[in-house]
Amino acid sequence: MSFSLTPTAKKNKLLLIKNALFEENGRLEPRNMLVRGGRIFAFFKPNCIPHADEIYDADGKICFPGIADVHTHFSLKLGKGLYNSDDFPSGTKAALASGITTVVDFTDQGPGEPFLPALKKRIIDARASYCDYSFHCITPSFSAMKNFEKQVESAVKAGLVSFKIFTAYGKRGLKLNPQEIEKILWAAKKNYAYVFVHAEKEEEIEENSVKFSGLKKRSPMKAFNRIRSEETEINAVREIININKKIKAKLCFAHISSPLSAAEIKKASKIMPVRGETCPQYLVLSDKVYSKKDAYLYSFCPPLRGNNAGALLWKALRDKVLSVVSTDSCGFSIKMKKSWKGDLDKLYMGVSSAQFMFPLLYTFGVKRGIISLGRLKEICCENPAVLAGLPNKGFLKEGYDADFFLFDPEASFTADKNILLNNCGYSVYEGLKLQGKVESVFLRGMLVYEKGLFSAPRGMYIKRTSPSFSIK
C-alpha cells in the first residue's frame, strides 16, 4: 500500500507501523504499532499483523518518541517591527526534521502587561507551526501589573504552567529583584506551576565588563566568556536556590553551561523540587570557538566554557544530575550578527540548534558510549514532557499521542549549509559528521516529514497541565 504526506488521523482510522525497532530496557525489540485516531492503540509482536486501513513499513528503523523541545525562541520580538530570523514556520520546520514534534516557546509581553492577551497573540504567531506548540509565561518586572496573583491563576488555567524569570537583562525590563522573585515563587507554588530560570548575575557581569574593558575592545569575543563568566551563572543559581529554601516552589534552571551549576542543582534537589536543563551547544562545542575569525556567530548566553565542561555536562546527564536537553534555538541571520561591528554590547545572542538536535545528541552521546539510547529518550522526550506538563506527549504508550519518528542509526550525513532549513544562512554545527538520520516523522498519527519532504503545517496549541518533577 502506498503512503503519502497526507492526514491519516481521522477518527477510528487505523494506521499500522510495521517492522520497527523500539528501545525497551536497554534493548531494541521488534514490534508492530497500531495507531487509531491519532493515538497509539496497541503494540504487537512482529509476526502479528492486525487489520489496518494503512500500513507504513519502518523497514527495521528505530522508532523513537517525538522530542519535546521545551525551550525555543521563534518570532522573538526584539523591538518595534524587529524580530529574530526564525519565525514559527522556519523554526518548527527545522525542528520537525530532527524529530521534534512539540515545542514550548514564550509569551512576549512587556513589564506589567497581562499574560492572557500575550498568549492569544503568540498563538496567532504560531498558526503556521509544523510542530505542536505551547508557551512559557515570560515574567518581566510585574510591579505595575494589576491583580498579579489573579493573573498567574488565569494563566495557569489557560495552560501556561511555567513562568520564566531572569536575573539579568535589567535594561530590557526582564530582571526581577529578590522581592519579585520571592513573590512569583510563592504564586507558582500556590497554582501548581513552576518557575523557569535564566541564571546569570547581572551585577557581576557589569563588574567584569569594566574589569576586562581593554580586552573587550581589542578582542571582544575572547572577553565574552570572561565577562559572562562561569561564576556569574553559579552565583545566580545559588541566589535563586537560597530564596526558594523557605518556599520550595518547583524550579527548573535553563541552559546550564557550567558543571558546577549542575552540582549546585544536585545538592539543592535534596531539599526542594529543582531540575536543570542544558543544550546541544554546551555538550558539543567549547570556548575554543571564540578564537575563530567568525567567533561572533557563536554568540549565545550563557557562553561556552572550557576546562572539559562539555564532557562533565554529559556526565551530569548520564548520572541524572541534569534532567532535560532543549535547544534554546534562537536564530539570527549572518547579516544581523554582523551588525554588531565589534561592539559586544550590540551583538545578537542566540543560535539555531533545532535541525540537528537529535543527530548531535545521538552522535556525541550514544555512539560514543556516554549515554544509552534509553537515557537519550528520557532527557529529550519523557522528562521534558512530564516536567512541562505536556499531556499525552513524550512516550510511546497506549493512549498517548502518536508522535514519533523513525531513524536510521547507521546513516550518516554532514551538517552542511546547503541542507539548512532555518532562516539564518549558517549553522554553528557546519562540517560535523553526524549519525542517526531522521527518516520520517509522525505527528498525532499523521506522516508530516519523510526524507526531506514536508506536509503542510499541522501544529496545534497544547494546553499544558500541572507539571511533575518526578523525572529521571
Question: Is the pLDDT at 2 greater than 90, yes or no?
Answer: no
CA 154 from chain centre, in angstroms, equals 25
Any domain includes 470? no
State percent of the chain over pLDDT 90. Answer: 94
Any domain includes 431? no
pLDDT in tens, 27-40: 999 999 999 999 99
Distance in angstroms (rounded) separating the CA atoms of residues 276 and 283? 14
- How many domains does the chain divide into? 1
Any domain includes 328? yes
Please state the rounded mean pLDDT for residues 282-291: 97
Domain encompassing residue 330: 67-388
Please state the rounded mean pLDDT for residues 115-130: 96
Phi, psi dihedrals of residue 54, rounded to the nearest 5°: -140, 150
Model pLDDT, residue 471: 78
Any domain includes 26? no
Any domain includes 429? no
State percent of the chain over pLDDT 70. Answer: 98
Question: Is the pLDDT at 445 greater than 60, yes or no?
Answer: yes
Q: How confident is the model at residue 79 (pLDDT cuts 50, 70, 90)?
A: confident
pLDDT: which is higher, 323 or 307:
323
Any domain includes 271? yes
Please state the rounded mean pLDDT for residues 139-144: 91
Question: Is the pLDDT at 3 greater than 80, yes or no?
Answer: no
Distance in angstroms (rounded) separating the CA atoms of residues 304 and 345? 17
Model pLDDT, residue 198: 98
Distance in angstroms (rounded) separating the CA atoms of residues 170 and 175? 5
Question: Is the pLDDT at 63 greater than 50, yes or no?
Answer: yes
Q: Are 261 and 229 in contact (CB under 8 A)?
A: no
Phi, psi dihedrals of residue 185, rounded to the nearest 5°: -65, -45
CA 322 from chain centre, in angstroms, equals 14
Q: How confident is the model at residue 8 (pLDDT cuts 50, 70, 90)?
A: low
pLDDT in tens, 222-257: 999 999 999 999 999 999 999 999 999 999 999 999
Strand 54-57, strand 14-24: pairing: parallel
Worst-scoring range by mean pLDDT, 45-54, 261-270, 432-441? 45-54
Side chain identity at residue 330, one-letter code: C
Please state the rounded mean pLDDT for residues 339-350: 96
Question: Is the pLDDT at 196 greater than 50, yes or no?
Answer: yes
CATH label of the domain that carries residue 119: 3.20.20.140
Model pLDDT, residue 11: 65
Q: How confident is the model at residue 65 (pLDDT cuts 50, 70, 90)?
A: very high
Model pLDDT, residue 7: 53
Q: Are 293 and 279 in contact (CB under 8 A)?
A: no
CA 47 from chain centre, in angstroms, equals 38
Model pLDDT, residue 360: 98
Q: How confident is the model at residue 13 (pLDDT cuts 50, 70, 90)?
A: confident
Average pLDDT across the chain, whole number: 95
Any domain includes 201? yes
Any domain includes 58? no
Please state the rounded mean pLDDT for residues 430-443: 97
Model pLDDT, residue 100: 98
Please state the rounded mean pLDDT for residues 403-429: 96
pTM: 0.96
DSSP annotation of 131 reads S
Model pLDDT, residue 1: 35
Distance in angstroms (rounded) separating the CA atoms of residues 105 and 72? 5
Pairs from 412-418 (Cβ < 8 Å, separation ≥ 24): 412/437, 413/359, 413/437, 415/356
